[in-house]
Amino acid sequence: MMGPIMENEEHKTDRISVRQIMKDLRALSVRDFSPEERLDKIVALVAEKLKVDACSCYIARPGDILELCATWGLDKKAVHETFLRLGEGLIGEIALQRKPLIVEDAWAHSSFVYKPETKEKSFKSLAGVPIIRSNKLLGVLAVQTKKIQSFSQDLIEVLETISLVLGEMLSWGLFKKKETVAAPPSGRQKIEGTGLISGFAIGRVIIHKRLEQPAQLLAKDSQKEIQKLLKALDRVEQEVNRILATSHMSGSQSDIFETYLMFIKDKGWIAKMTKAIETGLSADAAVQKIGDEVTARMELMTDPYIKERIHDVQDLVGRVMRHLRRGAKEARAKKKMPRQTILVAKSMGPAELLDYDLKKIKGIILEEGSQTMHMVIVTRSMNIPLICGIKNVAQIFSDGDLVALDATGGNVYLNPSDDTLDALSDQTNRARRLRAKYTAMRDLPAVTEDGIKISLNMNAGLSHDLMADSGFSYDGIGLYRTELPFMLTENLPNVKTQTAIYKRALMQAKDKPVIFRTLDIGSDKVLPYFERQTEENPAMGWRSIRMTLDRRALLRNQLSAFLKAAAGRDLYVMFPMISCVREFQEAKNTLLMEMEQEAERGGKLPKSVKIGTMLEVPSLVFQLDELLKEVDFVSIGTNDLMQFMFAADRGNPTIWNRYDPLMPAFLKVLKTVNDKCLKAGVPCSVCGEMAGRPLEAMTLVGLGFRSLSMNPASLGAVKAAVRSMHRAELEAYLKRQLSTVSENLREYLRLFAVDHGVFIG
């Protein structure tokens, strides 16, 4: 199988063979092998094609351990028996340094460690590369020869390209020890999960693929990929030219963009990427590979100026990738979706969801999800049933599978039987009847049995077209999440575009009030075009008002658009994530300044301007006396307030239902805030997800709240709860419970609702 290797001969790998390896790898990746078989075939293939005596793959395990998981050439009995610590032996050295290594005479190398079980005594030369993906070390790929050999740089490049493919496969998490690999279930089955948005759906599966990593690693048609690359570079060039022409930048800022232009046209850079594509990589993967190489080289330099430029290179690479993936994103939007689609994903951000034709999505299955995750909030506004907590979705479901979803019961039926389908359609009919009941209440006021009027508002942000036919009435928009329309645009919308968006929202709300919240980006709300810092705790990091106060132009543009959009009518502006009074004052002053400037420009101002705050950071609860002198209204964001009060990440599925907003500690805080607001004459409402759940909404009314803002889909159910409750009775009950019971009140309140005929769905 292998040709003879000449002593001291420079090891040659021509480009044709690299292409062939890629082709063979592509064939292997689509064939139906177990992960272990596939890895065995890959190392054998590499050994054969590179004409070496051994090829081995080590996989990184927890505890800084590398495990030999496949080999061709070493003793197979050593597989799963040979372990090396990070830094131990040549393999450990490659992993520790995260750099390729070529060693002509391994035995003479100071780091060499002999592992007898591998029977590698007769091997002399070694070349290896780390397997890295998303900056994480996944393993090491190494080749060895029995005779002394000088491996070429070309061979290292080939190994690096192969390691990219391996990295992709390893990241699927499939190469676990045999006993821990769950057999992929097949045929008809019932899978239990957690229903986050109740409802029923039957449809065909579409598996959502993330675009953060190259959408596709290998490509058949290199010429097509090169054309894609050149087109993307061209688009970036146009984009940079546009930025240079339209923004007022200082000299040093425009220098950066001028450097981008030089880079985009740099023949050496383009040639490297083209060469990588010719080896069989997709344009996307080639840009990432070369980008990583350039930044890795720059990291080794000591010159601080060059180090600072790493960021620029990463930004530039990011821009090229974004343009390359725009095709993929567009393809996702255009992807032929069944009319009844069940979208299946490991996890998903709100922006990714919005790439799809939402009208066709009838249900969603997520591996990871939680009640107050933004993607779930967006889904709820469209009333799409959603189930989360189903492990290994990629192994269970395939595109086109028939699935019945019972998100009310928390079950998914793969290839459902006729009986299951019948039962589900009965349930669907019941849900339809319930909806009809809510719709019939459309024109009735949300008044409790003892005559207290509750203002029911809706949370919005997506195109109102989606909500126009929700069939429920509302008093106003209590929370307009402005970041949602930002997620739908390719670039940061300018004042004119924003004005049009807000004007449309005001028009659609007719004469009802709309509370515009300034941008709350960061945390899990990511804008595709917005440079994002890597932060350990993004929810508690540089997000929301912290970011917009620092990027004042961004805030001012948005405030200016609010003022223009609301010219001649009432404007309500709310600032998110306020943590101290000074922050609110600063934001408020920015708005007042913007108003002055608008007036100076002769622009028509709104009839009135009310400025309020979100209360979602616990520190604000202890500054209410000062705060309430400054604000026109308060809206409690219970989603964030909960996560910060209980120190429990709202997007973490492992802990999301560990704490409950109906725990006395939380209810007492809500009551304190509302009582103080009432005393100060400042309107106070709740706009977190709890306001849209009938039992919680009932409780909030019992605590004294007169205004709630929720997902449009919840308006009917909450109105039914409000209309069937007696506020004073519940108030007295809550007063008793809050002073005596320290445990979760959910069950107590549920029984109260049942005993008192409160309709909680």
Summarize as ranges the residues that interact with Mg ion (CB under 5 A). Answer: 616, 637, 640
Instruction: Give just the sign of the alpha carbon dihedral 728, 666, 473, 506.
Output: positive
Residue 160 contacts residue 289 (beta carbons within 8 Å): yes
- Strands 65-72 and 684-686, bridge-based pairing: unpaired
Q: Which of residues 586-615 bind ligand PEP (CB under 6 A)?
A: none
Tokens linked to 163:
């390691």
Cβ neighbors of 674 (< 8 A, separation 6 or more) are 684, 703, 704, 705
Residue 369 sits at φ, ψ, to 5 deg, of -165, 160
Q: How far is the CB of 502 from ligand PEP (least distance, A)?
A: 17
Give 196 or 686: the residue with its C-beta nearer to Mg ion: 686
Residue 514, helix vs strand vs coil: strand
Task: Tell me which of 476, 637, 651, 716 binds ligand PEP, using CB under 6 A.
Answer: 637
Q: How far is the CB of 614 from ligand PEP (least distance, A)?
A: 7
Q: How far is the CB of 352 from ligand PEP (least distance, A)?
A: 17
CA 12 from chain center: how many Å? Answer: 44
Q: How far is the CB of 639 from Mg ion (least distance, A)?
A: 5
481 binds ligand PEP per the rule CB under 6 A: yes
Q: How far is the CB of 543 from ligand PEP (least distance, A)?
A: 9
Residue 635, helix vs strand vs coil: strand
Task: Tell me which of 82, 144, 408, 639 binds ligand PEP, using CB under 6 A.
Answer: 639
Give 475 or 640: the residue with its C-beta nearer to ligand PEP: 640
638 binds ligand PEP per the rule CB under 6 A: yes
Residue 704 contacts residue 448 (beta carbons within 8 Å): no
Angle between the N-to-C axes of helices 664-680 and 638-645, in degrees from 0 to 180, rounded to the nearest 10 = 130
Give 344 or 587: the residue with its C-beta nearer to ligand PEP: 587
Q: Which stretch binds ligand PEP (CB under 6 A): 89-97, 230-238, 635-643, 738-746?
A: 635-643
Separation of alpha carbons 203 and 347, rounded Å? 20
E strands, 198-254, are: 200-207
Q: How far is the CB of 592 from Mg ion (least distance, A)?
A: 24
Q: How far is the CB of 483 from ligand PEP (least distance, A)?
A: 8
Give 355 or 616: the residue with its C-beta nearer to ligand PEP: 616
Tokens linked to 584:
């609110």
Task: Tell me which of 88, 225, 520, 583 binds ligand PEP, using CB under 6 A.
Answer: 520
Tokens linked to 25:
């790898």
Residue 446 contacts residue 456 (beta carbons within 8 Å): yes
Q: Which stretch binds ligand PEP (CB under 6 A): 335-343, 583-591, 631-639, 711-719?
A: 631-639
Tokens 């809050």 belong to which residue?
738
Separation of alpha carbons 95 and 408, rounded Å? 48
Separation of alpha carbons 98 and 547, rounded Å? 34
Q: How far is the CB of 616 from Mg ion (least distance, A)?
A: 5
Of residues 592, 197, 160, the one with CA closest to residue 365? 197
DSSP-assigned beta bridge partners for residue 150: 10
- Contacts with ligand PEP by CB under 6 A: the residue count is 11
688 binds, among ligand PEP, Mg ion, none (CB under 5 to 8 A by kind): ligand PEP
Total count of residues recorded for the chain: 761
Q: Which stretch binds ligand PEP (CB under 6 A): 137-145, 237-245, 632-640, 712-720?
A: 632-640
Q: Which stretch binds ligand PEP (CB under 6 A): 32-40, 52-60, 258-266, 638-646?
A: 638-646
713 binds, among ligand PEP, Mg ion, none (CB under 5 to 8 A by kind): none
User: What residue number has its CB nearest to Mg ion?
Assistant: 640
Q: How far is the CB of 368 from ligand PEP (least distance, A)?
A: 18
Give 144 or 639: the residue with its C-beta nearer to ligand PEP: 639
Residue 203: DSSP 8-state = E
Residue 108 has a CB neighbour count (10 Å cut-off) of 10
Q: How far is the CB of 638 from ligand PEP (least distance, A)?
A: 5
First CA to last CA distance, the chain = 70
User: What residue number has its CB nearest to ligand PEP?
Assistant: 637
Give 368 or 616: the residue with its C-beta nearer to Mg ion: 616
493 binds, among Mg ion, ligand PEP, none (CB under 5 to 8 A by kind): none
Q: How far is the CB of 172 from ligand PEP (least distance, A)?
A: 32
Separation of alpha carbons 515 and 480, rounded Å? 6
Angle (nearest 5°) at CA 210 between 208 and 211: 130
Tokens 């990746």 belong to which residue?
29
737 binds, among Mg ion, ligand PEP, none (CB under 5 to 8 A by kind): none
Give 161 or 548: the residue with its C-beta nearer to Mg ion: 548
Q: How far is the CB of 594 from Mg ion (least distance, A)?
A: 23
Q: How far is the CB of 331 from ligand PEP (least distance, A)?
A: 29
476 binds, among Mg ion, ligand PEP, none (CB under 5 to 8 A by kind): none
Angle (nearest 5°) at CA 295 between 293 and 298: 110
323 binds ligand PEP per the rule CB under 6 A: no
Q: Which of residues 681-710 bind ligand PEP (CB under 6 A)?
A: 687-688
Residue 691 contacts residue 670 (beta carbons within 8 Å): no
Q: How far is the CB of 693 from ligand PEP (least distance, A)?
A: 13
DSSP-assigned beta bridge partners for residue 60: 66
616 binds ligand PEP per the rule CB under 6 A: yes
Residue 71, helix vs strand vs coil: strand
Separation of alpha carbons 396 and 413, rounded Å? 11
Q: Which of residues 461-480 bind ligand PEP (CB under 6 A)?
A: 479
Separation of alpha carbons 709 and 637, rounded Å? 10
92 binds, among Mg ion, ligand PEP, none (CB under 5 to 8 A by kind): none
Q: Please count the CA atoms within 13 angstroms of the CA of 534 that sit on its side-chain side.
A: 4
String marking each residue 357-396 x if it binds ligand PEP according to CB under 6 A? --------------------x-------------------
| Contact residues for ligand PEP, defined by CB under 6 A | 377, 479, 481, 520, 616, 637-640, 687-688
